[in-house]
Amino acid sequence: LCEIKPAEGRHTAVRGPRLARVELYYRYLAALLAGGKGDEEGITMPAAEAAFQESFISYVEEFVHLPCISTDLRAYTIFINDKEALKELRMGLIAALKERSSQIQVPADVSILEGGTLRETKKAIRCLVGYYQLLELMGYHKGLDRKAARDKVYELVKLYDTAAPLSKEIDEREAGVADEFLGVASNILINSYLREEKQYGGIGHLMSAALLLERLVSRSKYSNVHNLRLCSLYLVMGVPQLAYEAYDRCDIKNIQLDTLTHFFLYGCIAAGANDTAYQLCGDISGFMNGFDRDSADLIFHAFSHGSYMKVLEMSAFKKRLESSHMKAVAAAEERILEIKVAGLNIAG
């Protein structure tokens, strides 16, 4: 499975086999850290670390331009960050990622590019985004001091400005090729706030992070990724009205009421926005109860048309909704909010 075979003189650009190599050496590391043996050949920890780093960097070099690169490798970065025994491996990966990212050059004016040069520039920008995302996952930005963090944010904003012309014609619901530069920059500012809150009072870091995300939303107004980030940040800052505006732009409906509302509901309740939280609980319960009410007709309709796979799918979906965590949370919080609002009315 892990062997990459040439096809027509080139290596096939398939993620699975290369990712399988990363998984294999990750399991070697996990087994050795747990006190077991690597395999019958007695592989050592240094050898396992070297093999893991080689497979990890090899995968990055091949696929860093893809938007899924951080998702593919997230679990492995979490594993490495959590293990003190793998500190040297973590530092080696960070050094390798920094070295490769420093070799990428972006033209100062991308608006005049066209054809193959334009495609290569877009790929280079996407590669830079991938390297910065991976460095963030490895915890590199959390270790930056105040000045270094500020310089890195400035660098990322400058990169975004340079690449912004490439995103002028995309749809308002789509993310631009360089959007994650500001996403990473906002995360650096949030980490600076968490590190410096007691020393400097650092609310300015959160405000700056919100402004960067607002800048993204001003171009991709209906991008769920940007709006959900902004929603979570505004709730942390204690501004539920602005958080609701960001949440409302996401146009969350149907099954998203089960999978995405946690971004908003808990913070809304904590911030004391009782009316908004009560409305959201009602929306969640309404969707759940509506599907429960209509599911029998839908299943019968599918069965009568011979769509037996649909029958099985809808039956399984109905069972999952019945055991949904958000359904239970919405039902409980709705009753609590009714009591709370009634008490406030009496007190008023």
The answer to whether 68 and 59 have CB atoms below 8 angstroms apart is no
Query: Per-residue pLDDT tens for 301-346?
Result: 888 888 888 888 888 888 888 888 998 999 999 889 888 877 666 6
pLDDT for 1 beyond 60: no
- The Cα–Cα gap between 247 and 66 comes to 27
206-233 b/e with 16+ CB inside 10 Å = b? bebbbebbbbbbebbeebbebbbbbbbb
Q: Which amino acid is at 165?
A: P
Q: Highest mean pLDDT range out of 113-122, 267-276, 325-334?
A: 325-334
Q: Which of 7-16, 39-48, 148-157, 321-330 has the lowest mean pLDDT?
A: 7-16
Residue 345 CB coordination number (10 Å):
8
- The Cα–Cα gap between 344 and 337 comes to 10
Query: Per-residue pLDDT tens for 42-63?
Result: 678 888 899 999 999 999 999 9
Residue showing tokens 């789509």: 174
- The Cα–Cα gap between 200 and 206 comes to 13
CA 205 from centroid of its chain's CA atoms: 21
Averaged pLDDT of the chain: 84
pLDDT confidence of residue 11: 52
Mean pLDDT of the 183-209 span: 80
Q: What is the CA radius of gyration of the chain?
A: 24
Nearest Cα residue to 257 out of 287, 230, 279:
287
pLDDT confidence of residue 302: 83
CA distances from 339 to 124, 274, 334, 335 (A): 56, 11, 9, 6
- The Cα–Cα gap between 64 and 85 comes to 27
Mean pLDDT of the 185-190 span: 91
DSSP 222-253: T-HHHHHHHHHHHHHTT-HHHHHHHHHHT---
Work out the angle at residue 268's Cα, subtended by the Cα atoms of residues 279 and 335, and round it to the nearest 5 degrees.
50
- The Cα–Cα gap between 331 and 310 comes to 29
- The Cα–Cα gap between 249 and 229 comes to 12
Phi, psi (deg, nearest 5) at residue 6? -65, 145
